Amino acid sequence: MPNRVGQQLGYYRLLRLLGSGAFAEVYLGEHIHLKKQAAVKVLRTQLSKDEAENFRREAQTLARLENPHIILMEYAPNGTLRQLHPSKTTVPLPTILAYVKQIAEALYYAHTNHVIHRDVKPENMLLGRQQELLLSDFGIATVTQSTQASNPHSIAGTAVYMAPEQINGKPRPASDQYALAVIVYEWLVGAPPFQGSFIEISTQHLMTSPPHPRSRIPTIPVLVERVVLTALSKEPESRFGNISAFANAMENAYLATQHPTPKPMPRPARPA
């Protein structure tokens, strides 16, 4: 695909290439009159019918979602959480809670609009102009009540963060909760619960219980570990009722460690 830097598409002049994917490139563009910057996604000239349908589906999905923590095509200049927190690094628990709250808000909104993201990962979490967190890349999202918008039985996503039912081609809103729990686990201990090849990771998601986070980092609060492991349950029904419940449980577990219930004072011994 030719480099389009300097070209004008519609009212936007393309300033520089931000990234490229399987069927499109994303440029930083500036409106020629308003001088407002935006991310401009440009389709590759040679697209299969399925690729073109994927692009249309993403546009339709985004058009339905309007939430302060869901990015449409605005330009997020401060990079991703993967860049801010590279692999093999841990993140302080209060910071994790702030991230989870914002991403859960975005996902809960998507789920109430019958959209499953299916590719929740740090690379798709962007930092906005005010350091707010933005969830991006709804390119493989599933519309839960429509079999025409996508094939819900296809396997799509990133293996490290993929829920068992998603591996089996049956994603549901709880699949996004599982993915977010994998990310929290990774931020807590510095590595995801399962690693290896696609097949190895997928098999572990399906068959193997994740190592307890405290077995790697003993200082992780017990209640926080319990919440994460609940969200990582193999069966979707065993997880929290929705993504907001998971975020609330994380916050409550943390607060309980900051303000533990005081132990009752022992009764004084009775005089003989």
Distance CA 214, CA 225 (A): 7
pLDDT in tens, 74-118: 566 788 899 999 999 999 999 999 999 999 999 998 899 888 888
Q: Is 119 a catalytic residue?
A: yes
- pLDDT (tens digit per residue) in 10-19: 778 888 887 7
Q: What is the pLDDT of residue 34?
A: 74
Summarised one tens digit per residue, pLDDT across range 199-212 is 999 999 999 999 99
List 41's β-bridge partners, or say none.
Answer: 26
The whole-number pLDDT of residue 150 equals 40
Which amino acid does the sequence have at 61? T
The number of C-alpha atoms within 13 Å of 158 and in the hemisphere containing its C-beta is 20
pLDDT at 44 (0 to 100): 61
3-state secondary structure the chain: CCCCCCCEECCEEEEEEEEECCCEEEEEEEECCCCCEEEEEEECCCCCHHHHHHHHHHHHHHHHCCCCCECCCECCCCCEHHHHCCCCCCCCHHHHHHHHHHHHHHHHHHHHCCEECCCCCHHHEEECCCCCEEECCCCCCEECCCCCCCCCCCCCCCHHHCCHHHHCCCCCHHHHHHHHHHHHHHHHHCCCCCCCCHHHHHHHHHHCCCCCHHHHCCCCCHHHHHHHHHHCCCCHHHCCCCHHHHHHHHHHHHHHHHCCCCCCCCCCCCCC
Domain 63-258, CATH number (from 3.10.105.10, 1.10.510.10, 3.30.465.10, 1.10.3720.10):
1.10.510.10
pLDDT < 50 positions in the chain = 70-72, 140, 143-155
Q: What local confidence, expressed as pLDDT, does residue 25 receive?
A: 76
Report how far residue 87's alpha carbon sits from residue 165's, in angstroms, rounded to the nearest whole number. 26
Delimiting residues of CATH 1.10.510.10 domain(s) in the chain: 63-258
